[in-house]
Amino acid sequence: MSPSFPFLSLPLELRNEIYKHLLYHPTQPIPYALQLQNPPPYCPVSQNLSIFRVNQQIHAEAARIFYTSTTFVIRLVISDWLIPPAKGLAKTQFQVIYEDPWAEIVYSYDEEGKNWYSGFETYEPDPKDSELVHDEEIESIPSHRYRDLIRHVRVDILTTRVSLHSRETHQITDAARGKIRKLLLPFAFRLQRILSKDAEVEVNLISPMFVTQNDRRRDMNIFTPFPSSENTAKTLELYKELIETAWPYTTGPWRYKLNLPEKLEREYPELDKEVIKWCNENNEVSEEETMEFGVMKTKVPYVLVMRRGRFAFMDEDSNFWASPGEFFE
């Protein structure tokens, strides 16, 4: 048997290069607007971290490289619809499909400020790689020992709510439009508990308002306004509404960068700064709402399941849990 290699005798600079090679995880591409009807699957970080288990020193060194160099991607897919009125006027309900490296959640929010969580209808965990978890365990993911190491987070906001086709009417109520900037606050608050001031959050807005053309570069965002000049005022309001949607991710202690198409920025210079400033000056989030956004409420009894390091909600009455004894065997 050949003797073991004295890895720790190598200079730290060389060990760090080895860690970078072993722990490199390519960042998934940013979806483009033409994919909104059928977005590519979200790809959580799935890296072999067995090197963390070698010993305490290697764990500390490798974890520092992994968490400081990896870009952790958060994806939010937003939709809305009008609920037919039983009495009076129709009401708007929003839905957010949220995925990050540690969770996958469906969130609903209506124009009256009511919010609740649910699970993916198609989510069927395997007893071989899943386990029940308690609510308080959510707060421990990711581990507190790693949170201060995270430096790069990318937030992709995919919204199907605003269309550039004149035949498609953007129908939400005025009451719902006033709630737009609060829609993603629960997720921004969660990120505030995870990230430090040393982190950077890059926010990408993906909307049918921003058309992506598959040219030779395959990544060029083409700005396409409404075809009729009489819709200029409406178009500008819709752009403002999109930026309001992203506002919660500009409120944390981190540095942020909001990416908009270059031509939009040329057409409406400083629009993002104007809208974000307005949101900050008209922040109508009460202490009660802040507490509400921090509580994961559901409409039906549920259980939390952990699968491959990510938690999700499941209906407590799911057939999967009919024989809990089998689950723990």
Query: Bridge partners of 97?
Result: 77, 106
Compute the distance between CA of residue 76 and CA of residue 105 in angstroms, rounded to an integer.
10
pLDDT tens digits, 155-174 = 999 988 655 444 344 566 77
Contact 313/298 with Cβ under 8 angstroms? Answer: yes
Q: What is the pLDDT of residue 113?
A: 74
Compute CA distances 173 → 81, 112, 176, whole Å: 10, 11, 5
Q: Which residues of the chain have pLDDT under 70?
A: 1-2, 85-90, 119-140, 161-172, 211-231, 296-303, 307-308, 314-329
Strands (E), 47-151: 71-83, 91-100, 103-110, 115-118, 130-133
Position 185, amino acid? L
Compute CA distances 29 → 75, 79, 98, 156, whole Å: 12, 22, 17, 10
Compute the distance between CA of residue 191 and CA of residue 252 in angstroms, rounded to an integer.
8
Which tokens sit at 188? 């921004």
Backbone CA torsion sign across 305, 308, 310, 314? negative
Distance of CA 328 to the CA centre of its chain: 31
Query: Bridge partners of 75?
Result: 99, 156
